[in-house]
Amino acid sequence: MKIEKFIKKKALPSFCTSNIDVLNTVIFFCKNNNLPCLIESTSNQVNQDGGYSGKTPKQFVNEINKIAKKHNFKKNKLFLGGDHLGPLPWRNNKSKIAIKNSIQLINKCLTANYSKIHIDTSIKCFDDRMIDQNIVFDRTAYILKKSKLKKNLKKVFLVIGTEVPLSGSNDKDKIKITSISQIDEEIKKFLKLLNFFQKKIINFGLVIEPGMRYLHHRITVPKLSQFKNKITISKNRKFVYEAHSTDYQSTNVLKKLVKNNFKFLKVGPELTYSFARSLLFMQKIEKKMFNKNLSNVENIILKFMLKNNKYWKGYYYGKKNKLRKLILNSKLDRMRYYLNNKPILKSIKVLEKNVDSLDKRKLIKYFNLAEDKKIFNNLQLKKMSNFNLINFIFISKSLNKYYTACGYRV
């Protein structure tokens, strides 16, 4: 079954995360509600060098398949994609090396049975004085010609375009909404390129910027009132839009995006942010129920991240107390880059062991919302572990929102 079937009348959320606990919840949710599931790995998360998750495309796919098998999830409803496949992880190298690595990554993804590919060559490399749309297009064309995509265009759903909001950008920076002329120019170039491949691509998507942003504690809502012409151009030329960084938007806003022919809604940090809320919630329970052998997950995360600023430098600023608050609570969720490190993983495992040892009847009193208690009671019957159950309560709210917006009943 092809991914195109699920975007004819509806849309699809795209879950861009490599976190195993989050993916476990995502796949269980989809199984429980009989939903299709699209999971995508970004080039800096998963690549031939391991990425920040420490996984190659093959390893990532094997882990997902293992979770799917555990939940008896149908393979024909599970789709894998590669996001921002391009120079991003190798931007500190010369462009020739970065593009060569990009081709290698795309080939690895195709070999691992990825069925959706987003090519993004907009990243400036070490030897680039500047980068414009002509360079972006030329590099995209080169990757298409030199990679295994050339022979697999009928098997994959291809996405191009680079108009992506910068998370963590300055609050005063203006969001540049993609114009009709930009869309028209990019599509004309791409259709011309398709002639080179004898029009082997039947369906494709274009990433554009509708005007969204999320900062530490504030969300910018897109203005979609002027999108009528953009819907027309996409439908006339038979392509769809893909929205990136839709995290934390309301169900209503996501529905409007779908109405405007955004058939893929990408979400990532919101999911791991919810997972972090779950961990901190469980630690509070742990502190009340145990006197020894505590996980200390919050302190271990803070200690490790304050010592290793590679992934939050340039996003979080201030003195130590402010940094601690941002690390734990910022919606930018730079914490997701660190959850796979050994000291943090070890503390999460201790937390999981402690929480799983508790009687479920004693846990329910910690949930204040009637909605959460209802989910808790329903899932008790499915013999789910306490750790996974609590993760589900926190993460499923986002999943519910996205599938509802995409036209599914959940």
Q: What CATH number is given to the structural domain containing 102?
A: 3.20.20.70
Q: Residue 338 pLDDT more than 50?
A: yes
Would you say 10 and 407 are in contact if contact means Cβ atoms under 8 Å apart? yes
Query: What is the rounded CA–CA span in Å between residue 244 and residue 141?
Result: 22
Same domain, 112 and 155: yes
Q: What is the per-residue pLDDT across 45-90, written as a single tens digit (0 to 9) for each?
A: 999 999 999 999 999 999 999 999 999 999 999 999 999 999 999 9
Q: Residue 166 pLDDT more than 50?
A: no
Same domain, 288 and 253: no
Structure confidence at residue 164 as a pLDDT band (50, 70, 90): low
Cβ-Cβ contacts under 8 Å for 208 (sequence gap 6 or more): 161, 163, 178, 182, 183, 230, 241, 242, 243
Query: What is the rounded CA–CA span in Å between residue 36 and residue 378?
Result: 22
What is the average pLDDT across 244-251?
95
Cβ-Cβ contacts under 8 Å for 272 (sequence gap 6 or more): 17, 19, 22, 333, 335, 336, 339
Same domain, 222 and 292: no
Q: Residue 163 pLDDT more than 70?
A: no
* Range scoring the smallest mean pLDDT among 94-98, 142-146, 186-190, 388-392: 186-190
**What is residue 127's predicted lDDT score, i.e. its pLDDT?**
97
- State the average pLDDT for the chain: 90
Q: Residue 169 pLDDT more than 60?
A: no
- Of 240, 267, 294, at which residue does a domain stop? 267
What is the average pLDDT across 131-139?
89
Percentage of the chain beyond pLDDT 90 is 70
Same domain, 246 and 286: no
Residue 129 domain boundaries = 3-267
Q: Which residues of 321-360 are buried (b: 16+ CB within 10 A; e: fewer)?
A: eebbebbeebbbbbbbbbbbbeebeebbebbbebbeeeee
Nearest partner of 240 among 158, 162, 166, judged by Cα:
158
Same domain, 76 and 108: yes
Would you say 120 and 81 are in contact if contact means Cβ atoms under 8 Å apart? no
- Number of DSSP helices (H) and strands (E) in the chain, helices first: 15, 10
Is position 158 within any domain?
yes
How many domains are there within the chain? 2
Half-sphere exposure of 72 (CA within 13 A, CB side): 3
**What is residue 198's predicted lDDT score, i.e. its pLDDT?**
54
Q: How far is CA 107 from the centre of its chain?
A: 21
3 state DSSP class of 240: strand
What is the average pLDDT across 263-277?
97
Same domain, 261 and 347: no
Q: Is 211 or 287 the better-scoring residue by pLDDT?
A: 287
Same domain, 261 and 285: no
Q: What is the per-residue pLDDT across 361-402, written as a single tens digit (0 to 9) for each?
A: 888 889 888 888 887 877 765 678 999 999 999 999 999 999
Q: Residue 117 pLDDT more than 60?
A: yes
Same domain, 224 and 361: no
**What is residue 170's predicted lDDT score, i.e. its pLDDT?**
44
Question: Tell me, what CATH number does 284's domain have?
Answer: 1.10.400.20
**pTM of this prediction exceeds 0.85:** yes
Same domain, 93 and 37: yes
* Amino acid making up residue 400: N
Classify strands 240-243 and 157-160 as parallel, antiparallel or unpaired. Answer: unpaired
Query: What is the rounded CA–CA span in Å between residue 66 and residue 236?
Result: 41
Q: What is the per-residue pLDDT across 172-182, written as a single tens digit (0 to 9) for each?
A: 456 777 887 88
**What is residue 235's predicted lDDT score, i.e. its pLDDT?**
73
Q: Residue 119 pLDDT more than 60?
A: yes
Q: Is 163 or 13 the better-scoring residue by pLDDT?
A: 13
Give the sign of the dihedral formed by CA 247, CA 252, CA 253, CA 257: positive
What is the average pLDDT across 291-315?
97
Same domain, 340 and 235: no
What is the average pLDDT across 126-139?
91
Structure confidence at residue 276 as a pLDDT band (50, 70, 90): very high
Return the residue matching tokens 């200690």.
303
Name the token pair of 132. 């414009």
Would you say 223 and 243 are in contact if contact means Cβ atoms under 8 Å apart? no
Same domain, 38 and 142: yes
- Of 267, 302, 331, at which residue does a domain stop? 267
- For residue 305, give Cα distances in angstroms to 195, 323, 337: 49, 10, 10
Same domain, 310 and 209: no
Q: What is the per-residue pLDDT across 206-234, written as a single tens digit (0 to 9) for each?
A: 998 888 888 888 888 887 766 667 777 78
**What is residue 202's predicted lDDT score, i.e. its pLDDT?**
58
**What is residue 230's predicted lDDT score, i.e. its pLDDT?**
75
